[in-house]
Amino acid sequence: MRWFTSHTEIELCGHATLASAHILWETGDLSPDEIVRFDTLSGELTAKKNGEWIDLDFSAEYKINSDVPVYISNALGLQPIYGGKNRFDYSVEVESEEIVGGINPNFGLLKKVPSRGIIVMGRADTGKYDFVSRFFAPAIGG
């Protein structure tokens, strides 16, 4: 399996993997008890049915606690309460769902961030969800 943005190939895309597994079962190309195995740039990824759910088995991407660089804070127009980074992305935590929803990033500045993207997350205001997030990846066309 391969994933592409409008500009480049990426190593991992969970949403597309989930959708692909779902289609393979829905179209009958695989029986519901079969495990889906995808050969990818990130290695073998598997999916299996779990009742109405689909379980994906991806390698862990360990984070490194990291101060959020000032240029990311400036590009997002916010002050984070936490920062982290793994080999793909920066993670930025803010105080609330309202802040996440109100971000109006400077994409020109975000394009210069040396990573695939920036994930911004904050605690959800309602009890229905734990958190909300947005993902920005202008450097790779996303």
Among 74, 29, 73, smallest CA distance to 47 is for 29
The answer to whether the beta carbons of residues 84 and 56 sit under 8 Å apart is no
Q: So what's the pLDDT on residue 124?
A: 94
* Long-range contact pairs involving 24-27 (C-beta distance under 8 Å, separation at least 24): 25/49
Element (H, E) at 89: strand 89-94
Residues 107 and 72 in one domain: yes
**pLDDT value at 134 more than 90:** yes
**Arithmetic mean of pLDDT over the chain:** 90
Q: Using alpha carbons, select from 88, 22, 36 the residue that is nearest to residue 60.
A: 88
When pLDDT is cut at 50, 70 and 90, the band that residue 50 belongs to is: very high
- Looking at residue 123, its pLDDT comes to 95
69-102: b or e for each residue (b if 16 or more CB lie within 10 Å)?
Answer: eeebeebbebebeebbbbeebbbbbbeebebbee
Do 119 and 73 lie in one domain? The reply is yes
Question: What CATH number is given to the structural domain containing 87?
Answer: 3.10.310.10
Query: Are residues 77 and 100 in contact, defined by beta-carbon separation less than 8 angstroms?
Result: no
Q: How far apart are CA 79 and CA 55, in angstroms?
A: 35
- pLDDT per residue as tens digits for the range 57-113: 987 777 787 788 898 999 999 999 999 998 889 999 999 999 999 999 999 999 888
- Write out the residue range of the structural domain in which residue 45 sits: 3-57
Query: Is 112 found in the same domain as 86?
Result: yes
Same structural domain, 132 and 78:
yes
Would you state the pLDDT for residue 6?
80
**Same domain as 21, residue 77:** no
Residue 4 sits at φ, ψ, to 5 deg, of: -135, 145
- Both 87 and 125 in one domain: the answer is yes
Over range 11-30, report the average pLDDT. Answer: 92
Helix/strand/coil for 106? coil
Count of domains observed in the chain: 2
53 plus 114 within the same structural domain: no
- 142 falls in which pLDDT band (50, 70, 90)? low
To which residue do tokens 């895309």 refer?
13
Domain identity same for 71 and 29 = no
